[in-house]
Amino acid sequence: MALTSTIHTFDIALADSDRGVYEDLSLRVARHPSETEEFLVTRVLAYCLEYEEGISFSKGGVSDADDPPIFVRDPVGRYKAWIEIGSPDSDRLHKAAKTSERVAVYTFKDPASLLRRLDGERIHRATEIPIWSPDRGILAELVALLDRRMTLHLSVAGRELYLDVGGKTFSGPLTEHRLG
């Protein structure tokens, strides 16, 4: 018997002063059975941090080999933004950079390890791809509080993340890394 996805509902008050984005988001996110809790919370954070009109999660989720986990398409259907989660390989990033105007990676793993693995690989526009690593303490706190229905407040200022989940507050940096 195949395992099914678990649906998580996130009600998020987003205040991103770095980008001037202030939104109330209600997200229904399917967690694939193979998806770790760290991947899920990083995916939700990335969605918020990349939020713009037209942003979407891929229909196939983490099991979709062709589409990115998060993306923005233009009215014609071309990718404007391709957002990867975790530790994508160089071929996938190369394809993303050839296909989309903008590519970003949000990793919940050791960013230095990812950078070493990708160093010297053939990746189109590699120096233009930011690799973001949210503070591991924030990710651990979110995983510890993870429930199928969550309400949280996320504020971003000066690349610092401030979260409030059920009256519990914590903060930490969002660090940018680059290839090359």
Question: pLDDT tens digits, residue range 111-146?
Answer: 999 999 999 999 999 999 999 999 999 999 999 999
Tokens of 19: 């980008």
pLDDT of residue 180: 76
For 62-116, the pLDDT digits (tens) are 656 678 999 999 999 999 999 999 999 999 999 999 999 999 999 999 999 999 9
* Residue 153, φ and ψ in degrees, nearest 5: -115, 125
Which pTM does this prediction carry?
Answer: 0.94
Tell me if 105 is assigned to some domain.
yes
pLDDT of residue 46: 98
Tell me if 71 is assigned to some domain.
yes
Tell me if 155 is assigned to some domain.
no
User: 136-161 b/e with 16+ CB inside 10 Å = b?
Assistant: eebbbbbeeebeeebebebbbeeeeb
Run of H or E including 90: helix 90-99
Tell me if 46 is assigned to some domain.
yes
Assess contact for 43 and 85: CB atoms under 8 A: yes
Tell me if 118 is assigned to some domain.
yes
Residue 87's Cβ-count burial label (10 Å; 0-12, 13-18, 19+) is: middle
Average pLDDT, the chain: 94
pLDDT of residue 49: 98
pLDDT of residue 67: 85
How far apart CA 74 and CA 151 sit, in angstroms, is: 30
The answer for residues whose C-beta is within 8 angstroms of residue 170's C-beta and 6 or more apart is 137, 138, 141, 162, 163
pLDDT of residue 110: 94
Q: Is the pLDDT of residue 161 over 90?
A: yes
| CATH number of the structural domain spanning residue 110 | 3.10.640.10
State the residue range of the domain holding 92. 33-149+172-178
Tell me if 89 is assigned to some domain.
yes
